[in-house]
Copies of this chain bind each other. A is one copy, B any other.
Amino acid sequence: MKLKAIFHVDEMPKWGLALKNVKNLVQTAEPNSYLIEVLANSEAVKGYCEESFNDNLALMRQLPGLGVRFVACNNALKSLGIEQSRLAPFVTVVQAGVLELVEKQAEGFAYIKP
């Protein structure tokens, strides 16, 4: 059975801790043995903007190749006036971040809020 986890980030200052958590999990687990998703809503979607290039985004770029999925809440993007074209190319957009959190847990994903 695959290890399944969804990390919830909704504050900008929590990105560093969240990504360290994700990296630790990826390094501990066997390759291809996991489904890991990072769901950002509220102000945290700003962390996906290309122009806000920083250490966090540099670390994020290493993770999709290792199977980590990065997801942004469209409600948050609209509320902050962020066009999807400004997001890093590895980011998937979902209509409602909270619904994603509920559905993934219903599918057996563990929830982690760093």
Partner of A98, one of B21, B102, B103: B21
Number of copies: 3
CB atoms of B98 and A8 under 8 A apart: no
The interface size of chain A toward B, counting residues with CB under 8 Å, comes to 35
Within the complex, what minimum Cβ distance (angstroms) separates A16 from chain B? 10
| A residues adjacent to B (C-beta < 8 A) | 1, 3-5, 8, 10, 17, 20-22, 24-25, 27-29, 41-42, 73, 75, 95-99, 101-103, 105-106, 108, 110-114
**Sample of 13 A–B contacts (CB below 8 Å):** A5-B101, A8-B113, A10-B17, A21-B41, A21-B42, A24-B75, A24-B97, A25-B96, A25-B102, A28-B98, A29-B99, A101-B110, A105-B110
